[in-house]
Amino acid sequence: MGYLIETTYFLTAVLFIVGLKRMSHPTSARSGIVWAGYGMVLATVVSFAHPQIIAHADSPNGVTNYMLMLIAIALGGAIAWWGGKKVQMTAMPQMIAIYNGMGGGAAAAIAAVELLKDHGAHPLPISVALMAVAGAIIGAVSFSGSVVAFGKLQELKFFKDDAKFRFPGQQKVNLAIFSAAVLLGLIIAVFGHPHGGLVLVFFLTALAFGSMMALPIGGADMPVVISLFNAFTGLAVALEGFVLGNSAMIIAGIIVGSSGTMLTFMMAKAMNRSVSNVLFSNWAALGSGEAQAVTGSLKPMDPPDAAIQMAYAAKVIIVPGYGMAVAQAQHKLWEMCKLLIERGATVKFAIHPVAGRMPGHMNVLLAEAGVPYDYIADLEEINEEFATADVALVIGANDVVNPAARNDKSSPIYGMPILNVDHAKNVQVIKRGKGAGFAGIENALFFADNTRMVYGDAQKVVAALIQGIKDLG
């Protein structure tokens, strides 16, 4: 039976890797999720036949274990199914954050069980106990940090003001809390047979560090932080897999940890920042007001006039952002694009790596609206084409199109790669109001001579553009 279990776990790992590979391209991403899902179902089902479960199957505890497993699967599956069906795309990042946190919390709970379990005459070897402690710290940090990330993205009242969580010497306090968690963990691992109270204090300290780590970080950086916590969860699961001798947990944890780490560094690079800068600089708040004053004025344009300019453009490049997601304007936007294509225009969509609130956010929304993948290009592919565009339409994006990132060394976003929207002959910006973006700074693009602001709800404005184009015949 042991060989069958291990062979099945190996097949599970293959399915995970195939799924992850297929998720790397939009055309195969959906099937990649399905393949990875098959792997997870297979690993879950075969766990019922694990020798450690089978050994106690005939005892009252064995029956209880099976019942608890079935109840947990039923409850978790039902909640996840309902949540997945109900969640809006705009709320997907916080859903990912809380689910990821649950994974870290589960790994920490496994560690707690192993550390408190009576191992009789065969206590945990120090090396195994150290891995359990490391997994506990990382999992607890991921759990509490992800809960904070959820609160910030959900814009819960307590988490709204980032500044109130910042104070002088904060990093030293965080270091002290982390050091205390590590010290307590070492005591538990080295001396063994820990008192329940000591384990409780250890976990509370680790949870406190995760919260303190995430609380001062601004909303603009939350996607990077969520990705980092995702990597933490994978690492915690892998460590607890070593503790339990479970190869499926080891492989799955390593895959999640490595892919999460790569994604974290890629997102930080897309903002021209290091991960340490994201975690420790508090740039979004501290940088506000440092940038050069923006010159010029905002120049409003009514939808009928914008429609005329759009209708007679030979090439249009559209830059979607979070505002499009909030307004659910992607379907109307594609309807407008089809009208332009029928009139002979070339239409493309430009996607910034950190557009929206998570990688791929805009791609998913456009795919939902039926936009063919051939019309979608990333920053490197499309940036040189803005100079040849008659109209660049920005719909709900802000910081990722701000020219200050190129030419204002005092700006908090200086050096961040941006879409060269300002190089287009004409720029239209659909925006609900005059507020700043996540970085909290004015956007120089909005004040440029070739930019016109079309104010209003994105879906309603695009609907007006569609009507205006139709009226031109």
Catalytic residues: 399
d(CA 425, CA 388): 8
d(CA 344, CA 314): 7
One-letter amino acid for residue 411 of the chain? S
Six-digit token pair at 84? 């997945």
d(CA 25, CA 262): 16
d(CA 93, CA 305): 36
Say which residue the tokens 């959820």 belong to. Answer: 150
Q: If you compute the radius of gyration of the chain from its CA atoms, what whole number of angstroms results? A: 26
d(CA 462, CA 401): 20
Strand order in the sheet with 346-351: 376-378, 346-351, 315-320, 391-395, 426-431, 451-455
